[in-house]
Amino acid sequence: MIRDGHYRQKLPFRARGHAMLLERIGGVFDDIEQRLETQDVVSVLELGCGYGTVLLELRQRYGGCVVLHGINRRREDGDTDILLRNGVERGLIAFDASPNECLPAITYLDVADGLPFADGTFDLVYSQVAWLYFSNKVGVLREVNRVLCHAGLAKIDADELHPGVPPEYQRLVEIWDDGRLMPFGDYLARFGMSFAAATQGEYLRFGKSAGFGDDLELISEVDLSRLHHHWDGIKCVYRLTR
Ligand SMILES: C[S@@+](CC[C@H](N)C(=O)[O-])C[C@H]1O[C@@H](n2cnc3c(N)ncnc32)[C@H](O)[C@@H]1O
């Protein structure tokens, strides 16, 4: 059981809700409602869901019309006890609700090791304030691509430039093509993927796309927090192989 002080201290960083998601990736309500016009159930995955506020808001709003999955790296980042407590405190779940009915399924893993879901499982994959911590970012996007269903949509809060760190480390995905730096956006465009504008910066928006990342080799990763304790994020450097 997480200590109360620790839980409260981390709330601002692990419990952002849909209002913040709206700023970062344009939210997901419209995407879900659009799909519910033609299907009974929408399957949703949040990468780095933290204390699960957005997923709980989706449950409250859509009930059994959404199948909800969240991923966290560690249990202390948000497990079922923490989600329950967060949901009750925010009035998103009733005090006496059955956890099995109201909580999303949570999996604890490093997304860089792959996503434990079958191909084509999700209609919608989204994420806020988690991308910077992922290693092998291209590998993660490949996995998101794989688990998206044919008409699926991914919306990842993943600004190309990460402010607040020296220029050398602002670009968290670096792709080198025969000695020249290829902007990540240019590489994405080859696969019909792109950055889209949000109120706060840009986010990565894409549907299922074949071949993304097949021609990239991961060369190195730098954990910025090891360079300075005020810096955060993993920079991933790739080489185009053909
Ligand atoms: C700063 S918290 C943000 C939580 C929530 N999205 C929010 O905005 O309040 C970062 C989240 O990303 C998750 N995360 C970071 N690195 C991860 C990784 N490599 N694999 C899976 N989850 C990761 C953490 O478990 C944590 O839940």
Query: Over the stretch 157-199, which tens digit does the pLDDT of each residue have?
Result: 998 888 889 999 999 999 999 999 999 999 999 999 999 999 9
What is the distance between the alpha carbons of residues 41 and 73, in angstroms, rounded to a whole number? 27
Nearest ligand 1 atom to alpha carbon 78: 27
Amino acid 66: pLDDT: 98
Q: Where are the domains of the chain?
A: 4-163+179-210
**Shortest-distance Cα residue to atom 10 of ligand 1:** 130
> What would the two tokens of residue 17 be?
């809700």
How would you classify residue 120: left for phi > 0, otherwise alpha for psi between -120 and 50, otherwise beta?
left
Task: Return mean pLDDT, the chain.
Answer: 95
Amino acid 1: pLDDT: 66
Q: Which fold has domain 4-163+179-210?
A: Rossmann fold (3.40.50)
**Per-position b or e across 195-218, b if 16+ CB within 10 A of its CB:** beebeebbbbbbebbeebbeebeb
Nearest ligand 1 atom to alpha carbon 20: 8
How would you classify residue 181: left for phi > 0, otherwise alpha for psi between -120 and 50, otherwise beta?
beta
Amino acid 219: pLDDT: 98
Q: Which residue has the tokens 């465009």?
A: 189
Residues whose beta carbon lies within 6 Å of some atom of ligand 1 = 13-16, 48-50, 71-74, 77-78, 110-112, 128-130, 133-134
**Shortest-distance Cα residue to atom 2 of ligand 1:** 14
Query: Model confidence over 72-104: pLDDT tens digits?
Result: 999 999 999 999 999 999 999 988 888 888 899
